[in-house]
Structure 1
Amino acid sequence: MRSYPRSSALNRTKKVFNNRLNRARRVVESAFGIMSAKWSIYRRPIIASMSTATKIVQVTCCLHHYIVSHEAEMSSAQGFYSILSTEERSAGSYALRDIENAGLASYSVHVTRVSEQYANFFGNKGTVPWQWEKAMRNHF
């Protein structure tokens, strides 16, 4: 998903959407960086069916969670999983690539519709206390 462009006149709802989308993007990219540093399968394109790729992601997330949650029980010589070296931290930096435009007009219409639905959700039911001030202070 893309943020609403700054060049357009952004109302409060669109500013909140941009702020929340950017926050979510940072969290996802951070999580992906951690996963790609530990699991080499994320360092290159996954050549598999969608269902197999989904299972790969689920399994590595479960294994990661299991290892981190049980690391305290290991001896200090074994408990090194969650400590990333400089090389491991930078390993994930090249793993995310921009997705090229698929060239489908219907895709663009769909993404616009989904963005509008999220913007409306964030402005109504999905409102959080800090969002209005944060969005109005930043120039998204």
Structure 2
Amino acid sequence: MYYSHKKFFSIILQGVVDANYKFICIDVGAYGKQSDSGVFGHSQLARALEIGALKTNTLKILPGTDIEAPHVVIGDGGFPLKTYLLRPYPLRGLTTEQENYNKRLSGARQVVECAFGIISHKWRILLKAIEIKPERAEHIVKCICLLHNIVINKEGPSDMIPGTSPLSLHWNTSHSSFSGRATNRGSHSSMQVRETFKMFFSRQGDIETTN
């Protein structure tokens, strides 16, 4: 069950990160063979978001517009499209507006990639096999996530790794458990939320061009 498509044994750390590279929600210990979508779908986080955690049931006016949209988290193509979870458009046959949306989403997702890069370079045990029982490995990973947040609170993200900046510490995406295209298509309401953000990003592009 722990044997992943990358041909080694692993457990999965799935996390939600804020703008300061801190982990605000984590799910640790899923089998390495599971997909990102599968892990998320069975997590307590998914159940909490469904009922409004992190203000997902609260609408807010997007800056400089009269457009209302819910608070959302961002995932890559391995995650399902939800009213509270934005994912990119499929890469084939994109319109200019959809390409712009994907680009904006990718830029925002750099934060979580950098957070994983910071944590793995600071605690280098995460870059190699942890020779211990899976249950103990889960505790180690959870402790590392807590220590990561404590260090950022004390020192700030720029001091996590001497001589580096957070943007230089991208997580190697080959570690991801996502393989292939997510099979679960979003509901009509979730597609409408994505369309709302696409429209907002397009309007922002027009403003930037005008300025």
State TM-score, norm by structure 1: 0.51
Total equivalences in the alignment: 120
Shift of residue 39, structure 1, vs aligned partner: 0.9
The structure in which a higher percent of residues are strand is: 2
Partner of 1:61: 145
2:201 paired residue among 121, 131, 136: 131
In the alignment, residue 183 of structure 2 is paired with which amino acid? V
Q: Secondary structure at the match of 1:97?
A: helix
Structure 2 unaligned regions, length at least 5:
1-75, 78-87
* Aligned pair partner of 2:192 in 99, 105, 120: 120
> Root-mean-square deviation (CA), in Å?
4.7
- CA contact 1:43–1:95 (8 Å) conserved in 2: no
Q: Which amino acid aligns with 1:39?
A: W
Give the equivalent residue in structure 1 for 2:103: 19
Deviations 1:26-75 (A, max 9, x none): 111111111111011332366875x8766554432221221232359xxx
Mind listing any 5+ residue stretches in structure 1 that lack a counterpart?
Answer: 73-80
TM-score in terms of structure 2 length: 0.38
Give the structure with the higher percent helix.
1
What amino acid does structure 2 have at the position aligned with 1:19?
K
- Percent identity reads 23
Per-residue displacement from partner, 1:112-135 (whole Å, max 9, x unpaired)?
Answer: x259876532333xx499622356
Deviation at 1:21, TM superposition (A): 2.8
Distance 1:121 1:102, change over 3 A: same
Contact map agreement 2:123 2:144 (CA 8 A) in 1:
yes
1:109 to 183, 186, 190: 183
Distance (Å, rounded) in 1 between the aligned partners of 2:178 and 2:160: 37
- Measure the CA separation in 2 of the matches of 1:116 and 1:16: 21
